[in-house]
Amino acid sequence: MKHNDLNIGMYKEDIMELYKNPENFGEIENATHKHTEYNSFCGDEVTITLLVEKDKVKDAKFSGSGCVISTVSSTLLTSKLRGMKISEVKRLTKNDMLKLFKVKINPARIKCVLLPLEAVRGTLK
Amino acid sequence: MKHKKDFPIFESQKGLVYLDSASTSQKPKQVIKSIVDSYETTNANIHRGIYDLSQKATKKYEDSKKIIAKFIKASEKEIIFTRSTTESINFLAYTLPSILSKEKDEIVLTEMEHHSNIVPWQQLAKRNNMRLKFIRVKDDFTLDLEDAKRKINEKTAIVSLMHVSNTFGTINPVKWIFNLAKKHNSITVLDAAQSVAHMKIDVRDLNCDFLTFSGHKIYAPMGIGVLYGRRDLLERLSPFNFGGDMIKSVTLEKSEWNTIPERFEAGTQNIEGAIALGEAIRYLEKIGITKIGKWEKDLIDYAAKELIKVKGIKIYLPRNHTGILSFNVEGLHSHDVASMLDDYNICIRAGHHCNMPLMKRFGITGTARASFALYNTKEDADKLILAINEVTRKLNNSSKRDQIKEIVRKVK
């Protein structure tokens, strides 16, 4: 019954599982970095907290409310951040984010994928 | 009704379930043919050619105005072609001030207006030091008429509202509100963008001073819209755009304006669009607008009755409605619902629908909106119902913690 190539897999089972049970959800109490980013177009909101020690991300969490794509993107990104150097975090690109998904993201939803990255960039400003 | 075959898009896009006609409707072959005909047989500029071809084009353009005028029970002199509803409302927000009396400094809108019927008035209020008031929307998605009585008074210069809500499909009691507005000598403006394709409209019966709609939501091309204005008011309005064709005479010092409605149509118009809009209305009337409205409403009521059975579905449907079925799936953003339905080749609109204040009023970020047109069938409704059932099943399937740990581990 599926027709639209761009979307196939965007809502596959493991992505839906990650949405229902997000990892790294919450706020780090002794966070060194914190920023909230909004997408006023859809009402999504994501807060990123980081614990940075010796220029390395020791812990990363996210909170807020969002769609499947932005929530899953937040889980995947916070997982990736742990252990990364700040200089590496600063170099993360749109493509790095899209690669996290391993499925094609419909162009209309790329903003959702990028929202947590925007929040992370906000923490480093 | 069996009119899907009139719409070539369903031939080229097999299996397409198009439920976004409130955004823009598909076009029947009669309308597409009209555009091609214009370019192949009568393409010339109107109103200025001495030659026969120009006169043929002019006649088609003027005939289209006659069809439109008859359709909304107006006179052809009261029909102005614009680009869209948005442009028409901007036209009014710029031209109306010159005929408003000074002691009237309030503009009454409603909380359910589309941004296009809020933003131009906000700007007018800013420019002319006027105030905006909004008639409240009740929990049942209808206007609070007691609040309307409070807000419309002798200070009200303009009352502008939508005939049908583009989010909930609410049919507003326009006649009642405009009668109230007329008691206070206010100017009445009707945004008929979401009603004109679904119900009969009579501008005199509704007490409209101005009415506007977009062609593309009524089976006509994009880039053509209509502004109806009551003749005596149009006579008093200054032009909005200045240039060719809207003048009677020009000297290097000053110009004299043309008669109405040409005074308001400066420059070369969207001639083939105007002609095709007339053709779209001709097509619509052949089937019968009341019949179309009933067909669509039956489909919506059927879909709503089935969707309400699905666990976790919230439906936003007022008692008196047309064209639109808005809903949300608990636990999912409406954009996800729309993306997931896209997997089934079902097109719906999702999000705030250019109704951000209304979304705030109901404490939601958006809705999933299925909207129906004359080409939709029970099969389309059934496909929507089936897909929504599958979406909620996907959402409610039992979780597999180990699987998640594995996905997250792989990110590293």
pLDDT at position B409, please? Answer: 66
Query: Within chain B, which residues score under 50 in pLDDT?
Result: none
pLDDT at position B410, please? Answer: 67
**Residue A73 scores a pLDDT above 90:** yes
- Name, in order, each residue with C-beta under 8 angstroms of B150's C-beta and a sequence gap of 6 or more: none
A96 Cβ under 8 Å from any chain B Cβ? no
Confidence of residue A77 (pLDDT cuts 50, 70, 90): very high
Spatial separation of the C-alpha atoms in residues B392 and B404, rounded to whole Å: 20
The partner residue sitting opposite A17, judged by closest CB among B333, B342, B403, is B403
What mean pLDDT value characterizes chain B?
95
Could you list the beta-strand ranges (E) of B330-387.
346-347, 349-351, 367-371
Q: Beta-carbon neighbour count of residue B242 at 10 Å?
A: 12
pLDDT at position B405, please? Answer: 63
Contact A49, A94 (CB under 8 A): no
Interface test with A, best of B10, B14, B329, B339 (most A CBs within 10 A): B339
- DSSP 3-state of B218: helix
Pick the range with the lowest mean pLDDT from A75-84, A103-112, B61-70, B286-295. Answer: A103-112
pLDDT at position B48, please? Answer: 79
Confidence of residue A102 (pLDDT cuts 50, 70, 90): confident
pLDDT at position B3, please? Answer: 95
Amino acid at B76: E
Catalytic residues of B: 354
Could you list the beta-strand ranges (E) of B86-173.
106-110, 131-135, 156-162
Contact B69, B274 (CB under 8 A): no
- DSSP 3-state of B190: strand
Taking contacts as CB-CB distances below 8 angstroms, the residues of chain A near B345 are 1, 3-4
Spatial separation of the C-alpha atoms in residues A97 and A115, rounded to whole Å: 10
What mean pLDDT value characterizes chain A?
90
pLDDT at position A3, please? Answer: 46
A108 Cβ under 8 Å from any chain B Cβ? yes
CA torsion sign, A101 to A107 to A109 to A112? positive
**Residue A1 scores a pLDDT above 70:** no
Spatial separation of the C-alpha atoms in residues B387 and B310, rounded to whole Å: 11
Confidence of residue A2 (pLDDT cuts 50, 70, 90): very low
pLDDT at position A8, please? Answer: 54
Q: At what angle do helices B85-95 and B119-128 cross, to 10 degrees?
A: 10
Taking contacts as CB-CB distances below 8 angstroms, the residues of chain A near B365 are 42-44
ipTM: 0.87
Mean pLDDT confidence for A21-47: 93
Taking contacts as CB-CB distances below 8 angstroms, the residues of chain A near B336 are 11, 67-69
Q: Nearest CA to CA, how far is A63 from chain B (Å)? A: 16
Spatial separation of the C-alpha atoms in residues B372 and B19, rounded to whole Å: 6
In tens, the pLDDT along B187-200 reads 999 999 999 999 99
CA angle B348, B354, B356 (to 5 degrees): 115
**Predicted structure pTM score:** 0.92
